[in-house]
Chains A and B, each alone.
Chain A
């Protein structure tokens, strides 16, 4: 029992810290690109800015409109957050530093990652607000369009690694000497990142939120701490999907030339660094790109990404069997 509690505690803490690191990165990236003084200079060079942001939300009133479906409305943010935290269970920080080294790790990750959308959909439905409803429905449409390329992109890695365990996939990359992104999965990596961006609802695929169209999408009616939970889950989701991407494609906790017996010490740092690099790319995209239209996103998913990932699987399989 204590073992389980410790694991859950570790997961929650790690995911939360990752979210806070990514929040700092996002606001700093924004202020750097937009020449905003707040997060760059105020309060320890802007590093306690996210803390102020969190405190602001905590002390605000948690307004629940009268017409909402109360239990669903209240539980939807928790649902989103739990699915993000649970996702982190299978990400290995070293061969032994992993909460659950599942045989079907990849399968688990992909299944759990789509659960969050149910939270988003229920939030949109229960809010009794047309903007929220449209945001929720857009999120659902996005899920259907983007879950497929995400899964198909990972299939290439699974074929190449001959395992579905995330530790096994990293070990395979160590055995190969090069990460999969160099060793033949570059297309898969790009598709995965695009699909993951849509999955975490970030610019240019933030239509479910779309503040200029749907005011705040499914989050419109939320305020105070429940809004904060949505807000943090967004960064958690970003952090964890980047961690999974760096595990699958960039060699995870491994880095060449470092002694493998010390991996428990440098593994988490290496993984975090790789995750942060991917995260920075997402931050740069967020603050420099406009938003796609919903139908353009569907076109991109069904007409480009899915065929490309199918071809990627085919090529990977041929290479695997032929050589």
Chain B
């Protein structure tokens, strides 16, 4: 240490004072588990130098509820209640791959009508999930108003899901071999099964047109905003190679330019009967991830409208035994959830419940990309990038 004011040092004052370096060290900033922008209880241990983020370590597990273990001591029909709660923003989508896996092991052919109803509700769950993302993301980059619009528009879709299934978030609507009769429908007897409530087609048409309108409004209000563009364009760029290497899926992967959508690649639901686009981004930045989701909402609404027009008639349930026992075997069924690829690996030993159930959730893999994306980002960018990954902690920790 050189004292610059010491007369002895006055001669080489200019050189000395320049060479003295202030010792600084990075500050460890604990973001979460309680933080407004971590979507629940994610914890990020960030090493920051002022506003600059040097290193980020996500800490998971605050919301681990042990669903995989719980599933081992439950029967197949009981597990739908559990899997509902994995990604609670799109509860219905979680049931589909699990039920489809059990049906595949039991070799049950699901009636077309039940498949269509499943498809409609899955797409509605996707729309409601993307509504939440839209509102929350705007909030994270500092715009306070859009979340109110998003929640209000989402309510229309949730009302429809509720009118059919009886639950807004946790429908528990699927049965092995089909779906149960609708909650809002009239009296049901063996001869007269009311599967959808009265006026469902009309209400859905109105709601889906509103969704398309709302997506347009988002494009204008949020996407057209200069400050929003400044905050999101060229921020958190994720290349296709990195995304694929880390197992990133869903809208995040598509925003990086990979046209990968399990709806077209697998046949867990009859998506091949409908005409829709798969929106793909160009740069893989936060703006693209936001944009892809807004466009997906429109496509989902289009699928629902087509599915309603081409709704087949017929039974809701395939013939299944009274006591459901899944034959010995193993299978993996994956589906395109709003957050990305969701898969269930079911190992059955022929009992009432699975021997082992492994859940592959989209958010878990998507969060694993955070340390790479956040290196060298600024603290406000950290929030913008984290928000653009659109994860739900229930989906990360299970």
The answer to whether A and B come from one shared complex is: yes
Instruction: Flag if A292 contacts B225 (CB, 8 Å).
Output: no
Give the number of residues in A that approach B within 8 Å (Cβ atoms).
29
**Using a CB-CB cutoff of 8 Å, which residues 202-247 of chain A contact chain B?**
203-204, 206-207, 210-213, 215
Beyond A35-B152, A36-B148, A206-B142, is A290–B228 a contact (Cβ under 8 Å)?
A: yes
Q: Kindly specify which of A76-84, A98-106, A293-301 makes contact with the partner chain.
A: A293-301
A264 part of interface (Cβ distance < 8 Å): no
With contact pairs A34-B148, A215-B36 given, residues A289 and B227 touching in the complex (Cβ less than 8 Å): yes
**Cβ-defined contact, B227 with A212, below 8 A:** no
Stretch at the interface among B56-64, B267-275, B313-321, B379-387: B379-387
Q: Is the CB of A204 within 8 A of B378?
A: no
Q: Do B37 and A290 touch (CB < 8 A)?
A: no
A121 interfacial by beta-carbon distance below 8 Å: no
Distance of A128 from chain B, by nearest CB (Å): 13
- What's the least CB distance linking A69 to chain B, in Å? 18
With a CB–CB cut-off of 8 A, which chain B residues contact A34? 144-145, 148-149
Please give me the residue from chain B that is nearest to A287 by CB atom: B145
Q: Are A207 and B143 in contact (CB under 8 A)?
A: no
Chain A 295-318 per-residue mask, 1 if CB under 8 angstroms from chain B, else 0 = 110000000000000000000000
With a cutoff of 8 Å between Cβ atoms, the chain A residues found around residue B282 in the complex are none
Question: Which residue of chain B has the shortest Cβ distance to A206 in the bound complex?
Answer: B142
Minimum CB–CB distance from B330 to chain A (whole Å) comes to: 44
Which one of A35, A213, A215, A295 lies within 8 Å of B148 (CB-CB)? A35
B144 contacts across to A, CB distance below 8 A = 30, 34, 203, 286-287
Given known A-B contacts A204-B227, A292-B227, A292-B230, A134 and B379 have beta carbons under 8 A apart = yes
* CB-CB under 8 A for A213 and B143, given A290-B228, A296-B230: no
**Docked complex Cα distance between A34 and B220 (Å):** 16
Interface membership of chain B positions 95-113, coded 1 if the CB is closer than 8 angstroms to chain A and 0 otherwise: 0000000000000000000
> A204-B142, A296-B230 known; A213 and B380 CB under 8 Å?
yes
- Contact across chains for B145 and A288 when beta carbons are under 8 A apart: yes
B379 touches A290 (CB 8 A): no
Q: When chains A and B are docked, how far (Å) is the Cα of A292 from the Cα of B378?
A: 12
Q: Given that A130-B27, A213-B383, A215-B35 are contacting pairs, would A288 and B378 also be in contact in the complex, using a CB cutoff of 8 Å?
A: no
Pick the contact of A293: B138, B139, B231 (CB < 8 A). Answer: B231
Asked if B70 is at the interface (CB within 8 A of a chain A CB), the reply is: no
**Chain A residue with minimal CB distance to B222?**
A290
Return the contact of B141 from the options A30, A35, A137, A291 (Cβ within 8 A): A291
Residue among A211, A289, A290 having the largest count of chain B Cβ atoms under 10 Å: A290
Min CB distance A236 to B, Å, is: 21
- Chain B residues near A287: list those with CB within 8 A: 144-145
From residue A263, how far is it (CB to closest CB) to chain B in Å? Answer: 40
The answer, yes or no, to whether A33 is at the interface (CB within 8 Å) is yes
Contact with A along B135-163 (1 / 0, CB 8 A): 00011111111001100100000000000
Partner of A290 from B50, B141, B148 at Cβ < 8 Å: B141
Tell me the interface secondary structure of chain A in the complex: loop
The distance from the CB of A206 to the nearest CB of chain B, in whole angstroms, is: 7
- B21-53 Cβ-contact flags toward A at 8 Å (1 or 0): 000000101100001110000000000001100
**Cβ-closest chain B residue relative to A211:** B36
Q: How far is the CA of A33 from the CA of B145 in the complex (A)?
A: 7
Question: Considering the complex, which residues of chain A in the window 7-48 have a beta carbon less than 8 Å from any beta carbon of chain B?
Answer: 30, 33-36
| Contact of B138 with A290 in the complex, beta carbons under 8 Å | yes
Give B143's nearest chain A residue, CB to CB.
A290
Q: Which residues of B contact A213 (CB under 8 A)?
A: 37, 379-380, 382-383
Given contacts A35-B148, A288-B143, A288-B145, contact A212 B383 (CB under 8 A): yes
Q: How far is it, in angstroms, between the C-alpha of A131 and the C-alpha of B380 when the chains are bound?
A: 12
Chain B residue with minimal CB distance to A34?
B148
* A286 contacts across to B, CB distance below 8 A: 144
A292 vs B225: C-alpha distance in the bound complex, in angstroms? 12
Most buried by A among B138, B139, B231: B231
CA distance A117 to B272 in the complex (A): 61
**Cβ contact within 8 Å between B142 and A210:** yes
Shortest A120–chain B CB gap in Å is 17
Residues of A within 8 A of B140 (CB): 212
Instruction: Chain B residues near A203: list those with CB within 8 A.
Output: 142, 144
Q: How far is the CA of A289 from the CA of B140 in the complex (A)?
A: 12
Question: For window 212-252 of chain B, which residues contact chain A by CB distance below 8 Å?
Answer: 225, 227-228, 230-231
Report whether A290 and B51 are in contact in the complex, using a CB–CB cutoff of 8 Å.
no
Q: Are B225 and A289 in contact (CB under 8 A)?
A: yes
Contact residue among A206, A211, A295 (Cβ-Cβ distance under 8 Å from B378): A295
Q: Within the complex, which residue of A130, A211, A291 is in contact with B227, where a contact is CB–CB below 8 Å?
A: A291
Known: A130-B29, A290-B138. A210 touches B380 (CB 8 A): yes
Most buried by B among A33, A35, A206, A213: A213
Contact check, A294 vs B225: say whether CB atoms are below 8 A apart.
Answer: no
Are A295 and B227 neighbours in the complex by a CB distance under 8 Å?
no
Closest 10 CB pairs of A and B: A291-B142, A290-B143, A34-B148, A290-B142, A290-B141, A293-B380, A290-B227, A212-B140, A212-B37, A213-B383
B: residues with CB less than 8 A from A are 27, 29-30, 35-37, 50-51, 138-145, 148-149, 152, 225, 227-228, 230-231, 378-383
Contacts A212-B139, A289-B227 given; 11 further ones with Cβ under 8 A? A35-B149, A206-B142, A207-B380, A211-B36, A212-B36, A288-B145, A290-B141, A290-B231, A293-B378, A294-B378, A296-B231
Can you offer 13 A-B residue contacts whose CB atoms are under 8 A?
Answer: A34-B144, A35-B148, A35-B152, A211-B36, A212-B383, A288-B143, A289-B225, A289-B227, A290-B142, A290-B227, A291-B141, A296-B230, A296-B231
